[in-house]
Structure 1
Amino acid sequence: MPEPSAGRRPPGELEASVLAALWAAGGRPLTPADVQRELGTALARTTVTTILARLHEKGSVSRARSGRGYAYLPVQDSPGLAARRMRSELDKSARDDRGTVLARFVSGLGPDDERLLRELLAQADGAAEGVAEGATNGGTEGGTDGGATA
């Protein structure tokens, strides 16, 4: 397998840089020229525009008209985007392989991440039980209608 040339960036590096610039803007929409200035690199504006268009096609950014072009906003924060990517990869696996994919993911976690995942799953179970309990007792404690009379 040939080695990447010294001048090539790793895959996804430009998209990550553009997203970082958008996140740093704190909710202010940025045009490609704004992003180019924020990056402070020698990237051509057309390159930045192409990256933003690809991010828009992937659903990672939204855009609105700004003059003759567009201004862009990230759809999610960095953790939200990472979670969406993880879910997308899981959804790509065949239904029969889903358990295997999850098992291999979990087996590759370190002790700290495994503990954190267990805590998060326990919290999610507790929240789901609370929702189910509320649905079975009419959403109030004790299954009453809150004392209302008909």
Structure 2
Amino acid sequence: MRGLGELERAVMDVLWDGGGPMKVRDVLDRLDTGKALAYTTVMTVLDNLHRKEWVRRERTGKAYAYEPTVTRADASARALRQVLDESGDPEAVLLHFAQSATAHESAALRKGLRRTVAGG
């Protein structure tokens, strides 16, 4: 995701796949980054994600439990929006993307556009 570092993205993936609020230890136990991480490192990453408003936290006993504030799909859509905004030519980017889309992706786009037109 744009705006997140590599470890922040990995932590968000764990939270998105977690199915509910998770404590630092839960996240650390499920992280698979290929390197050993300290508890305090994961705690700092979660604190940074909270500051950036990617996660919310609630105290449970002596620790916080964290959960995402946005879905993975919403975060991906935000990243795509940022790419389009920064491209200088969003129409050309969209057209190039549409040419590379699979049949399934094209159908999903058509369905979404029909909803947008019908609702707006």
Using the size of structure 1 for normalisation, the TM-score is 0.59
Root-mean-square deviation (CA, aligned residues, Å) is 2.9
Aligned pair in 2 of structure 1 residues 13, 67: CA closer, same or farther (>3 Å)? same
Residue 38 (1) aligns with residue 30 (2): yes
Number of paired residues?
A: 114
- How far did 1:104 drift? 4.3
- 2:18 aligned with 1:25, yes or no? yes
1:127 is aligned with what amino acid?
R
Q: How does 1:1-12 map to 2 (within 5 A)?
A: 12=5
Where do 5+ consecutive residues of structure 2 fail to align? none
Cα distance in 2 between the residues matched to 1:46 and 1:88: 31
Q: CA 1:90/1:70 → structure 2, altered by over 3 Å: closer, same or farther?
A: farther
Residue type at the aligned position of 2:94 = V
Q: Taking structure 1 as reference, are residues 38 and 129 closer, same or farther at Cα in structure 2, changes over 3 Å only?
A: closer
- Could you list the runs of 5+ residues in structure 1 that have no partner in the other structure? 1-10, 133-150
Hey, which of these two has a bigger chunk of helix by percent? 2
Deviations 1:79-118 (A, max 9, x none): 2211123334556x5xxxx8x3413422542633287458
- Scaled by the length of structure 2, what TM-score is found? 0.71
Aligned counterpart, 2:100: 112
**Mean Cα deviation higher: 47-56 or 81-90:** 81-90
- Structure number, greater radius of gyration: 1
Q: Which residue of 2 aligns with 1:60?
A: 54
Amino acid at match of 1:112: S
Q: Distance in 2 between matches of 1:114 and 1:103?
A: 19
Contact 1:65 1:71 (C-alpha < 8 Å) held by counterparts: yes
Identity, % of aligned pairs? 33
Query: Could you list the runs of 4 or more consecutive aligned residues of structure 1 that deviate by over 6 angstroms after TM superposition?
Result: none
The answer to whether residue 8 in structure 2 is matched with residue 15 in structure 1 is yes
Q: Which residue of 1 aligns with 2:114?
A: 126
